[in-house]
Amino acid sequence: MKQRKSEAVTDLREEYPKFTPAMKSTHKILVPDMLPVHFGIIVDFLRKEGWDVEVLHNDSRAVIDEGLKHVHNDTCFPALCVTGQFIDALKSGKYDPEHTAVLITQSGGGCRASNYIPLIRKALKAEFPHVPVVSLNFAGLEKDSGFPVNAKLLMKLAFAIFYGDTLMSLYNQCKPYETEEGASDRARQDCLRTVNAAFDAGKHRKYKTIVRSMLERFAKVGRSGEAKVKVGIVGEIYVKYSPLGNSHLEEFLLSEGCEPVVPALMDFILYCAVNNVNDAKFYNKKSFATLLFHVVYKYLHHVQKKIAALTQKYGFEPLHDFEHLRKCADRVIHQGVKMGEGWLIPAEMAALAETGTENIVCAQPFGCLPNHIAGKGTIRTLKKMYARANIVAVDYDPSATKVNQENRIKLMLATARENLAARQDKKE
Amino acid sequence: MAKRLGIDVGSTTVKVCVLGEDLQIEYTSYERHMARVKECVAAQLAVVAEKFGGGDFCVSITGSAGLGLAERSGLPFVQEVQAAFTAIRRYYPDADAAVELGGEDAKIIFITGGTEQRMNGSCAGGTGAFIDQMATLLNVSVPEMDALSLRAERTYPIASRCGVFAKSDIQPLLNQGARKEDIAASIFQAVVDQTISGLAQGRRIKGKVLFLGGPLYFLQGLRKAFCTTLGLDGEHAVFPDSAPCFMSIGAALHAGGEKPMPLAEALRRLQNAKGSDDIVTGSPLFESREEYDAFVARHKASDLAFEDIRTYRGDAYLGIDSGSTTTKLALITPGCKLLYRHYQSNNGQPLDIVLECLREIYRLAEGRVRIAGAAVTGYGEDLMKAALKADFGIVETVAHFKAALYFNPKVDFIIDIGGQDIKCFKIKNGVIDSIMLNEACSSGCGSFIQTFAKAMGMEIDEFSRLGLFAEHPVELGSRCTVFMNSSVKQAQKEGASVEDISAGLSASIVKNAIYKVIRAKTPDELGENILVQGGTFLNDAVLRSFELETGKQVTRPGIAGLMGAFGAALYAKENVRGESTVITEEELQDFTYTSKSRVCKGCTSRCNVNVIGFSDGRKFISGNKCEKGAGLKPHGDELDLYAYKYERLLRSVPQSLPAGRIRGRVGLPLALGFYEQLPLWAGFFEALGFEVVLSEKSSRGLYFRGQHTVASDTVCYPAKLAHGHIESLLDRGVDFIFFPCESYNIDEHGADNHYNCPVVAYYPELLKANNERLGDDNFVMPYIDVNDVRSASRALARSLKRFKVSRRACARALRAGFARLEEYRADVEEKAGEILYRAGREGKRAVVLAGRPYHIDPEINHGIGKLLGSLGVAVLSEDGVFRRGEPVRVNVINQWTYHARLYRAAEYVARTPGLELVQLVSFGCGIDAITTDEVRSILEKSGKLYTQIKIDEINNLGVVKIRLRSMLAAVEEQQRRAADGEAGRGAEQEVRS
């Protein structure tokens, strides 16, 4: 390369408040609402370790309005929701802006989502100049404001996610069929207590015991055997899970008498790990981290398989086996599509379709770049592979009306019900 | 058995159908509900009751507005597409597909070859509503527009993705005098194109096609456009008589499974359905009448003095503002008193309005008044200037600033909300410091209220006055018009009153302007002395909302709507020398004009130009991208790096076959990443002994050829064009098409990473999955990282296995390719240096048009480079200059190769005198939502203006031209001031530059 005059770098960055581990004793940390169950488990053990953490649940229209004010028009909806939620909370007067920090996870990657942290910093700057943004990431990003991560914490997080995933899945498998109103909710409460107690006692790694007790608890929920429409939810990670992001999609599906099937968050974690390993395989991008990711991946996958086997034993539908998901992906798209949720989306859609959940909502923020390709772009292929696949892509956006979204989902449900009826007729 | 009753409550109409016991259709009705949904349904049911007696009915509701109604009244609901599908299966079992256009939704049902039901996405604008909106714009009724369309001679490309886009396409056409007949037909064609690209998405609509819904039943022009585009004959295109009510028939069929109930019972339930509490309301604009009176009195202070034209004797200066939706005239005395003013909606004929006004002026003046100078501004500037022989044509921003200074010499912020534009200027040291204009996507606000008022059957004044004392203004969000449209509809469905909606709309417009266009985080950023203007601010509700939102008292001149014209008149007064050239009373007497359109064959752009012939023999040509179309000698493009790059890039592909044995014919699409890597891959394949075939050059026609395979209608235009290039290559008969997937672009160092954007990186996946002509054997898309020759050559060799290419040969060929790429880039940088040098020597201004490599495609940039050239500006590109800038650390993660160049280019421009930067942004580019703020801050730190131009498939340079001219005018003014004040403020200027 020629003409590089000097290696001088012009630094145009503006100052921002840093997060230091010392703030553990002085600051409250606010966390956006994304996965209510998972985050509940995590917050519980972090609090007991001395972190003052709080998951936000504010979801009034003001949240979206604050987001619209503070984030660029064309930025994706999740950035807008998260930022709006932080600002709305800080403005509520419930928190001392001098002693509050906000936390966000970061995966790092070619999607613009990696830029949420700078965007939130920019948004906070004008009104809350002393509120630091904390990054929770495993890629060594934001070194001056990272949440202190060590092997012990990682282990705890991983198990919290496993338990959260299992709980979410069991609840969804029971709730629509429960013969006694509220039985599933009670089971979920009991299980949460079990899990929290396990973390307290430092026994969170005894996953077989814990999962078994959850399965036993949910097995006690009385369920009717009637066939209901199963609807899978896939898509961009935030709108897929966050009730604020997807206008309470799971609740809506439950109210329509459907069984929501939501793939595990752990799959996304494994997806990130595998991408790192794939980069080494495809492009010779080998590093120490590659090896580490490989080992971590092996271990987590091992646990995942064991949990799946247990789940099956108790007569519940297990969550996907990640190696199987990879095989599903290979039939639709290359595993090189690794930005955003990339190949994981079609992989999950294929895995769902193949296990009888042919009705799928593919949720994405309006104008989501990776989803053009991995979401909407793969639907045609999937429909060719699974003739009965009934997929609706729904865009989430601050101004799209709920009616518009629900109407599209209802169209999908109408087809789903017809398919279900046809199948039952055939059986009879 | 009971009769069946189906009720379809759509976004604009209510349809009712009664089926007899043998499912024969006994009654149907179709009526617009004007947002009074419940009343309308009740009235129609009353008719049914009268006709059939009260008896028992099985009832079912469908439709987008029926959803909420059904829920709240406890009546059964069926999704409308499902309803249509049921009815099709019953009455048209042999149909292959059905297209249904409704008020706000468009749907396609594929029946044979895999049943599939689709609806438009949330951004696809309205369809019926879109047509209504366009008819309003043309100032005709919908049936009139239909009749007009049948007499069309040609069609213009018009975007129909959303009403706002279409408006910005149509308005300039109207202003340039294009025939209404042609525009009407173009509007229908746009709806057809939108349906095909937005809904069919890769599936062809063929066989026996059913056309349903109101618009397709009533509009012959739309039917014709569909049949022609889809190639359907009378046998295959079916337009059922029951088309408008088809969904209600389907609903009635579904009702069969429901328990019968007395009609009175259904009616009672519907009437008792409660509005939901979902709507959010704000506080009233005024607490009391007194508060309102004080408000009115305060603003009266900024009115202008008048002088009676019937008695005045002496000189006068004329200013004309030919805006997008309105035409404004002001005639002032040398003492700036207003002699005559006019403000009128264009109704499609701006020139006629101006001519009529001039005649009136001359008539009133009775020879006592001499027009000593005239200036024109606005969209129609060129046409008016030519027609009236005005002395000056000036940029809108200049005109507005002039007028604002007259009212408040201390003004530091001007916001103008007009019919279609929002313009904001910040003033620093008496010079425009930054200009903010709304992007195509959030525009249309002023005329939106107007359209909406009309839809409610009211005049805009009346409608907006209603909002002043609304008790619970509705929160409608603050995004684009189309979204606001559905928010309004939703609010209505939930029972909000017209007053509340009117007030809510005013607040939305203000919020949109402050938070989206100006992008202020707090109102304090705006400034101390704010002046508001533009026709929309004449609306007291908007003005009040603005004051409430900002918490500031602002100045609104009484002639807020005429500021452009007033400013132009002031400009004429200050600048006219000698005799004015403006058209005289005698010349005006028998002045007429004709308008014709033709295609310019001057170059490959094939611009649609309009020729307006004046009765004195002169001609005016518009619609052309360059001077050639206007019959002038074109300017050279020696100082245009965009033109150079495009031509140089194409030259990197060998014209002759490689020597020796030919392994095969490889097709390279001229799309996305190839706009930079073409030399690399051409060199690579040539070295391997392949014949390289390039897809044809981009054009709108090429886009349409690939349109049916576009899977996501919100992806950027450069990506959508790729579909056409694939079709082109397939038609050229190549052995295979090569299109690599590259997560990583070339590492240029100095940044955090070097990704491609997700679309550039993986678009081949989407192309392959959505085009039935592509398969593994004719579409090769290896995953490679070109920075690592080892893995790249391995992947390439594997993907070219059937041609028996070894890995080592690939590595060798890659090196050959890289050499060619380096040559290309060195040439581009050298040319950039030459242009900079020559511009400096010739004293020309130079602009870095900062976008992405693919923005050099003339179909993507729509000739912006040429336009700049015609304004006497040298054009550079981001990749031509970025190495002159230092690597920068920015606030965001700098991880995309193309985007890292933007920052470095901006850094270079920021510290280089005489150089400006204009950022080109493709609509839908999510990453630019991040880069634009950063580039802006880099430039503004050193006092440079930031200008952004959003481009999409719409092909209209009118708006772009105004933007660029505003920027150039502001820069010039800045420099003039700087030179004037050198002595006084020299030190300060130095710090800034």
Cβ distance A119 to A76 under 8 Å? no
Q: Using a CB-CB distance cutoff of 8 angstroms, which residues of chain B are in contact with residue A388?
A: none
pLDDT reported for residue A288: 83
Give dist(CA B489, CA B485) in Å, integer: 6
> Does B624 score more than 70 pLDDT?
no
CA-based nearest distance A278→chain B, Å:
11
B524: left (phi over 0), alpha (psi -120 to 50) or beta: alpha
> Does B921 score more than 50 pLDDT?
yes
Mutation for testing the B interface, residue in A73, A86, A124, A125 having most B CBs under 10 Å:
A73
Q: Select the more confidently predicted residue: B122 or B598.
A: B598
Give dist(CA B315, CA B331) in Å, integer: 10
Q: Using a CB-CB distance cutoff of 8 angstroms, which residues of chain A are in contact with residue B783?
A: 282, 334, 336
For the stretch B361-371, pLDDT in tens is 999 988 899 99
> Does A280 score more than 80 pLDDT?
yes
The residue-averaged pLDDT of B422-430 equals: 80
Q: Minimum mean pLDDT among B186-190, B641-645, B779-783: which range?
A: B186-190
- How many residues comprise chain A? 428
The residue-averaged pLDDT of B655-664 equals: 78
> Does A242 score more than 80 pLDDT?
yes
> Does B989 score more than 60 pLDDT?
no
- Of all residues in chain B, the one with the smallest CA distance to A110 is B755
CA-based nearest distance A179→chain B, Å:
24
Asked if A283 and B930 come within 8 Å (Cβ–Cβ), the reply is no
- CA torsion sign for B925, B929, B934, B940 is positive
Mutation for testing the A interface, residue in B247, B522, B712 having most A CBs under 10 Å:
B712
pLDDT reported for residue A66: 86
- Of all residues in chain A, the one with the smallest CA distance to B748 is A1
For the stretch B379-389, pLDDT in tens is 788 888 888 88
> Does B448 score more than 90 pLDDT?
no
For the stretch A380-401, pLDDT in tens is 899 889 988 899 888 888 766 6
By Cβ distance, the residue of A11, A285, A398 closest to B479 is A398
Mutation for testing the B interface, residue in A16, A411, A418 having most B CBs under 10 Å:
A411
> Does A3 score more than 60 pLDDT?
no
Asked if B896 and A398 come within 8 Å (Cβ–Cβ), the reply is no
Angle, CA of A11, A14 and A17, to the nearest 5°: 130
CB pairs below 8 Å between A and B: how many?
A: 252
- Of all residues in chain A, the one with the smallest CA distance to B85 is A415
> Does B656 score more than 50 pLDDT?
yes
pLDDT reported for residue B969: 84
CA-based nearest distance B795→chain A, Å:
8
Strand B422-428 relative to strand B593-599: parallel, antiparallel, unpaired?
unpaired
For the stretch B256-271, pLDDT in tens is 878 888 888 888 888 8
Q: Select the more confidently predicted residue: B684 or B427.
A: B684
Nearest by Cα to B388 from B322, B308, B316, B315: B322
Contacts of B356 (CB under 8 A, 6+ apart): none
- Of all residues in chain A, the one with the smallest CA distance to B200 is A380
- Of all residues in chain A, the one with the smallest CA distance to B927 is A112
Asked if A118 and B81 come within 8 Å (Cβ–Cβ), the reply is no
pLDDT reported for residue B992: 38
Asked if B757 and A369 come within 8 Å (Cβ–Cβ), the reply is yes
Strand, coil or helix: B931: helix
The residue-averaged pLDDT of B4-21 equals: 88
> Does B627 score more than 60 pLDDT?
no
pLDDT reported for residue A366: 81
For the stretch B681-727, pLDDT in tens is 999 999 999 999 999 999 888 988 888 888 887 788 999 999 999 99
- Residue B783 has what DSSP assignment? B
Asked if B280 and A406 come within 8 Å (Cβ–Cβ), the reply is no
For the stretch B28-46, pLDDT in tens is 998 887 767 788 888 888 8
pLDDT reported for residue B483: 58
Q: Using a CB-CB distance cutoff of 8 angstroms, which residues of chain B are in contact with residue A127?
A: 521-522
pLDDT reported for residue A4: 42
Task: Tell me the range of B275-289, B625-639, B817-831 where mean pLDDT is highest.
Answer: B817-831
CA-based nearest distance A21→chain B, Å:
23
pLDDT reported for residue B63: 86
> Does B84 score more than 50 pLDDT?
yes
Mutation for testing the B interface, residue in A60, A282, A287, A366 having most B CBs under 10 Å:
A282
- Full set of structural domains in chain B with CATH: 3-92+248-272 (3.30.420.40), 99-238 (3.30.420.40), 314-408+567-591 (3.30.420.40), 414-554 (3.30.420.40), 594-630 (no CATH), 642-824 (3.40.50), 828-992 (3.40.50.11900)
> Does B741 score more than 70 pLDDT?
yes
pTM over 0.80: yes
pLDDT reported for residue B662: 87
> Does B482 score more than 70 pLDDT?
no
By Cβ distance, the residue of A112, A121, A399 closest to B487 is A399
Q: Which segments of A39-188 are extended strands (E)? A: 52-55, 100-105, 133-136
Q: Using a CB-CB distance cutoff of 8 angstroms, which residues of chain A are in contact with residue B938?
A: 12
pLDDT reported for residue B918: 93
Asked if A69 and B783 come within 8 Å (Cβ–Cβ), the reply is no
Asked if A126 and B766 come within 8 Å (Cβ–Cβ), the reply is no
Task: Tell me the range of A127-141, B11-25, B604-618, B795-809 where mean pLDDT is highest.
Answer: B795-809
- Residue B90 has what DSSP assignment? H
- Of all residues in chain A, the one with the smallest CA distance to B770 is A380
Task: Tell me the range of A248-257, B194-203, B535-544 where mean pLDDT is highest.
Answer: A248-257
For the stretch B528-570, pLDDT in tens is 889 998 878 888 888 998 998 888 889 999 888 889 999 999 9
- Of all residues in chain B, the one with the smallest CA distance to A378 is B769
Asked if B78 and A414 come within 8 Å (Cβ–Cβ), the reply is yes
Give dist(CA B380, CA B958) in Å, integer: 9
Q: Using a CB-CB distance cutoff of 8 angstroms, which residues of chain A are in contact with residue B759?
A: 369, 372-373
CA-based nearest distance B42→chain A, Å:
22
> Does A349 score more than 90 pLDDT?
yes
> Does A199 score more than 90 pLDDT?
yes
Asked if A378 and B78 come within 8 Å (Cβ–Cβ), the reply is no
> Does B14 score more than 80 pLDDT?
yes
Give dist(CA B883, CA A124) in Å, integer: 33
Strand B13-19 relative to strand B369-377: parallel, antiparallel, unpaired?
unpaired
By Cβ distance, the residue of B486, B759, B781 closest to A372 is B759
| B785 confidence band (pLDDT: 50, 70, 90) | very high
Contacts of B721 (CB under 8 A, 6+ apart): B671, B698, B702, B703, B706, B857, B859, B860
Q: Using a CB-CB distance cutoff of 8 angstroms, which residues of chain A are in contact with residue B922?
A: none
CA–CA distances in Å: residue B725 to residues B255, B298, B696, B739: 49, 61, 7, 11
Give dist(CA B714, CA B769) in Å, integer: 17
Q: For residue B992, give both structure tokens.
A: 């800034």
Mutation for testing the B interface, residue in A373, A382, A386 having most B CBs under 10 Å:
A373
CA-based nearest distance B643→chain A, Å:
24
pLDDT reported for residue B381: 84
- Of all residues in chain A, the one with the smallest CA distance to B123 is A400
> Does A69 score more than 50 pLDDT?
yes
Asked if A413 and B937 come within 8 Å (Cβ–Cβ), the reply is no
Asked if B743 and A372 come within 8 Å (Cβ–Cβ), the reply is no
Strand, coil or helix: B873: strand
Which residues face B369 on adjacent strands? B314
Nearest by Cα to B762 from B719, B721, B796: B719
By Cβ distance, the residue of A1, A333, A403 closest to B765 is A333
Q: Using a CB-CB distance cutoff of 8 angstroms, which residues of chain A are in contact with residue B826?
A: 2
User: Which position has the token pair 């160092």?
Assistant: B749
pLDDT reported for residue B731: 94
b/e A18-41 (16+ beta carbons within 10 angstroms → b):
ebeeebbeebbbbbbbbbebbbbb
Alpha helices by DSSP H, listed for B231-349, are 246-255, 263-272, 289-300
For the stretch B831-882, pLDDT in tens is 999 999 999 998 889 999 999 999 999 999 988 988 898 888 999 999 999 9
Q: Using a CB-CB distance cutoff of 8 angstroms, which residues of chain A are in contact with residue B925?
A: 74
For the stretch A281-303, pLDDT in tens is 999 888 888 888 899 999 999 99
Nearest by Cα to B658 from B620, B684, B696, B625: B684
Q: Using a CB-CB distance cutoff of 8 angstroms, which residues of chain A are in contact with residue B937?
A: 12
Nearest by Cα to A393 from B607, B558, B257, B715: B715
- Average pLDDT taken over every residue of chain A: 89
pLDDT reported for residue A1: 36
- Estimate to the nearest angstrom the gap between the alpha carbon of A147 and the chain centroid: 19
For the stretch B319-355, pLDDT in tens is 999 877 788 999 999 998 999 999 887 766 788 889 9
pLDDT reported for residue A110: 67
By Cβ distance, the residue of B439, B478, B741 closest to A68 is B478
Asked if B893 and A76 come within 8 Å (Cβ–Cβ), the reply is no
Asked if B117 and A11 come within 8 Å (Cβ–Cβ), the reply is no
Q: Select the more confidently predicted residue: B102 or B822.
A: B822
Q: Using a CB-CB distance cutoff of 8 angstroms, which residues of chain A are in contact with residue B907?
A: 10, 12
Task: Tell me the range of A270-279, B161-170, B432-441 where mean pLDDT is highest.
Answer: A270-279
Strand B619-622 relative to strand B608-614: parallel, antiparallel, unpaired?
antiparallel
CA-based nearest distance A305→chain B, Å:
30
- Full set of structural domains in chain A with CATH: 21-149 (3.40.50), 228-263+320-427 (3.40.50)
Asked if A11 and B888 come within 8 Å (Cβ–Cβ), the reply is yes
Asked if B887 and A400 come within 8 Å (Cβ–Cβ), the reply is no
> Does B373 score more than 70 pLDDT?
yes
Asked if B890 and A408 come within 8 Å (Cβ–Cβ), the reply is no
For the stretch A401-427, pLDDT in tens is 677 788 788 888 988 988 898 888 887
- Of all residues in chain A, the one with the smallest CA distance to B106 is A408
Q: Using a CB-CB distance cutoff of 8 angstroms, which residues of chain B are in contact with residue A111?
A: 758
